[in-house]
């Protein structure tokens, strides 16, 4: 089983739609979680950290479910500018040999 | 805050040339910096983890003599691709973080093309 898994998509949604991405991770001792977005041919940019109680930033809501070992990202009222690849990032324990693990990314296309 | 600068953005050079890429944290001290490589339509691949003042930790399959990493200060890490060949052409991205559970902040990336 891969350490961090995401549905690669692509998710093609119309403007204004609500879309949700899930990400699962294998190490139950993982400590911190993040969502990044990466535009084509650009570097990843931090979108938001994910806290145990869930957190919201404008149209974006992140949730963490430690029992089931998954995190989610919900985007409401999608904009054309939301089109990007969304990367789930899990900070795993040091003894796994790799601290920060990136998922393969989920591609989102918001259509006019 | 948390700005990471990477230089150069683009490099085009002949096969056999060595190429040096710099990664700087501009407004924070980075205890750890990371070097990634990304091929088109693929995920980021971690190449090595660099801690200030110590040797870099390379991921399996990454040649340490080919990809030399120096992390001489808390704000600067360099990656040198030695004797680059066309198969080394890729998008190289660095990132930096302040502490262990802090998010990574990425540089703009360096697009390397070896002819």
How many C-beta atoms surround the C-beta of residue B28 within 10 A? Answer: 18
What tens digit of pLDDT does each residue of B34-57 get?
A: 999 998 878 888 999 988 888 899
**Bridge partners, residue B25, by sequence:** B4
Interchain pair A98, B59: CB under 8 A: yes
What tens digit of pLDDT does each residue of A56-92 get?
A: 999 999 999 999 999 999 999 999 999 999 999 998 7
d(CA B70, CA A22): 37
d(CA A37, CA B49): 22
* Residue among B46, B101, B108 minimizing CB distance to A98: B46
What's the angle, vertex CA A50, arms to CA A97 and CA A32, rounded to 5? 25
What does the pLDDT read at residue A1?
62
Provide the 3-class DSSP secondary structure of residue A40.
coil
What does the pLDDT read at residue A96?
43
Q: Are B48 and B56 in contact (CB under 8 A)?
A: yes
Residue B38 CA from chain centroid, whole number: 11
> Over 80: is that where the pLDDT of B100 sits?
no
For residues B47-73, give the mean pLDDT: 90
What value does the mean pLDDT of chain B take?
91
Residues of A in contact with B110 (CB under 8 A): none
| Pick among A8, A9, A33, A44 to test the B interface (most B CBs inside 10 A) | A44
Tell me how close the Cα of A59 comes to any Cα of chain B, in angstroms. Answer: 21
Q: Are A57 and A106 in contact (CB under 8 A)?
A: no
CA dihedral of residues A20, A26, A27, A28 (deg, nearest 10): 70
Q: Are B80 and B19 in contact (CB under 8 A)?
A: yes
- Residue B23, Cβ density class (10 Å: 0-12 exposed, 13-18 middle, ≥19 buried): buried
Interchain pair A43, B43: CB under 8 A: no
> Over 70: is that where the pLDDT of A94 sits?
no
For residues B6-25, give the mean pLDDT: 95
Chain B contact present for A96, CB below 8 A: no
> Over 80: is that where the pLDDT of A16 sits?
yes
């Amino acid at each position: 089983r891969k350490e961090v898994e995401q549905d690669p998509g692509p998710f093609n949604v119309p403007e204004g739609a609500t879309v949700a991405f899930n990400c699962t991770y294998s190490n139950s001792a993982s400590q911190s979680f993040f969502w990044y977005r990466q535009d084509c041919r650009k570097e990843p940019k931090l979108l938001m950290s994910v806290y145990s109680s869930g957190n919201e930033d404008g149209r974006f809501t992140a949730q963490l479910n430690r029992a089931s070992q998954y995190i989610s990202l919900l985007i409401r009222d999608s904009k054309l500018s939301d089109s990007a690849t969304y990367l789930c990032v899990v900070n795993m324990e040091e003894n796994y040999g790799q601290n920060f693990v990136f998922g393969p990314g989920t591609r989102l296309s918001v259509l006019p | 805050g948390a700005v990471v600068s990477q230089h150069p953005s683009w490099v085009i050079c002949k096969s056999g040339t060595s190429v040096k890429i710099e990664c700087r944290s501009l407004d924070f001290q980075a205890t750890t910096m990371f070097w990634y490589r990304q091929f088109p339509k693929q995920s980021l691949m971690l190449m090595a983890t660099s801690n200030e003042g110590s040797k870099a930790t390379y991921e399996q399959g990454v040649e340490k003599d080919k990809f030399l990493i120096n992390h001489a200060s808390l704000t600067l890490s360099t990656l040198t691709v030695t004797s680059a060949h066309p198969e080394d052409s890729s998008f190289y991205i660095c990132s930096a973080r302040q502490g262990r559970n802090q998010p990574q902040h990425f540089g703009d990336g360096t697009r390397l093309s070896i002819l």
